[in-house]
Amino acid sequence: MTNKSELLNENPHPFIEMAKLAYERKDYVTVCECLESLIKLDSTKPEYFSGLATAQKKLKKFVDAEINYLNALKIKSSFWEASYNLGLLLQERGEVEQAIKFYNAAIESNPALYLAYYNLGNAYREMEMFSDAILYYSKAIDAKKDFPDAYYNLGVVCEHLFDFENALQNYESALKYEPNHIYAHWNKSLLLLLNGDYKKGFEEFEWRLLRNESVKRNFIKPRLTSLRITGKKIYIYCEQGLGDTIQFVRFLSGLKKMGCYLIFEVDPLLVNLFSGLNFIDNLVPRLSLDEPIVDYDYQISLLSLPKLFGTTIEKIPSDTPYLQTDINKMKYWNDELAVSYLKVGIAWAGNPNHSRDKMRSVYLNRFEKFTSINSLRLFSLQKGEAAKEINEVNFNIRDLSSLGMNDFSDTAAVISNLDLVITVDTSVAHLAGALGKETWLLLPYFPDWRWMLERTDSPWYPSLKLFRQPKPGDWDKVFQNVMDELKLMCHIEGVPHAG
């Protein structure tokens, strides 16, 4: 009987085919066994080592995979498959500079390898070397014109460089070659909205529901696509942040006017805040993502209502206040905040898990200069981990958390008793705006879409004034402008100020 070794010496082809079939079945253990056997009998073929490394990578044996890619390159330094795949492995491990070295080696051996150019673009983008990223994404597109992901990522880099026109053009190019490219649609929507094209922007905004990051809901009843809903029960649910919910709840009033019964599912933190809204028939706290236990005819996400209404900037429901404050809580906080100074509530940090939080949040110590105004007192509206900064600063700011500021209805009552709110881009801005409170919003150079570009006011909240960074990262100028406005406010109101 012929043993395995003899069979391999005579004809390794069956074992090569066995490895290929195992790879197709995602049986990477068998792939490794076949290739290890082949290597024992012929250790001069780089493709055996490279194939073994790829299977080991699939099994998360990253150290072994790196060794075997390097073994392949020792045999044949121009074996571009090993160079390219080793580059991918290193980049996934965070060794980006080493990855660049092997991508370049792959290109040297195979100048037409468009994926190597593309991943060089990804590597340089990760390192925030955006000019180099643009160069290599462009090279990838030169090598393969119909490369939607390269156009998409080139658009992302253009956004980082605040070149919104070219970013939009690249998203359009990605969609030309891949019409259902979810993230190109999503990013396109944000740029359209940022530039005030709400009609097209909210149409594209629907693609958000298909992103991997989006919460998936599987409703039994159909999605609402028409405003012919007289006598129907409509289930509206929230799928984004608390600030988004506060901003878009205004659209329920218009929906109610269509003669329907409104069931509104919200984060439990907002139940008390929304309990006084007379256009909501049934307020349901979101306790799970399962099928609702209440009876309904149609369902729709809250943030899909602007598209349903064909909203433009001119058609935004902007009557404020559209939220009310609990009378008893209002009185409680009126007593707690009874001072004869200008009462200013501040919030300096958003959700740290937000993708753009580093751009929009600041540290509390930036507000210290405001305390030089003798007629002003600061009150913290901050929640979460950032609230601990109060214990680390050496200026006077009153922490209200120990006095019962537990949910958004409490925060609303506090805000209603203040003279002014100064905040970075957090849910506090939406809450204050919805209450009609004078609010100064501190924005990064590249703001969230809803604040648009260049404007100092907001079509969403008439009581907001926007203070923007004149250049990326320039918070100093923002806070100086706020300081000047505060001094002017105190002077106008006849209250003396320091400085």
Question: pLDDT band at residue 10, thresholds of 50, 70 and 90?
Answer: low
Nearest 10 degrees: CA dihedral of 76, 77, 78, 81? Answer: 80
- CB atoms under 10 Å from CB of 89, counted, come to 21
Range in 31-35, 103-107, 174-178, 263-267 the model is least confident about? 31-35
Is-contact 375 344, C-beta < 8 A?
no
DSSP code string of 426-444: SHHHHHHHHTT--EEEEE-
| Mean pLDDT within 360-376 | 94
In 3D space, the residue among 331, 344, 332 whose CA is nearest the CA of residue 495 turns out to be: 344
Question: pLDDT band at residue 472, thresholds of 50, 70 and 90?
Answer: very high
Nearest 10 degrees: CA dihedral of 171, 459, 240, 192? Answer: -10
| Mean pLDDT within 205-217 | 93
Whether 201 shows a pLDDT value over 50: the answer reads yes
Burial class of residue 366 in the structure, from the number of CB atoms within 10 Å of its CB (0-12 exposed, 13-18 middle, 19+ buried): middle
Report pTM: 0.89
Per residue in 401-438, pLDDT (tens digit) is 878 788 899 999 999 999 999 999 999 999 999 999 99
| Token pair recorded at residue 321 | 């206040």
- Per the rule left: phi > 0, alpha: psi between -120 and 50, beta: everything else, 258 is alpha
Rounded Cα–Cα distance for residues 11 and 5 (Å): 10
Question: pLDDT band at residue 9, thresholds of 50, 70 and 90?
Answer: low
Rounded Cα–Cα distance for residues 30 and 253 (Å): 62
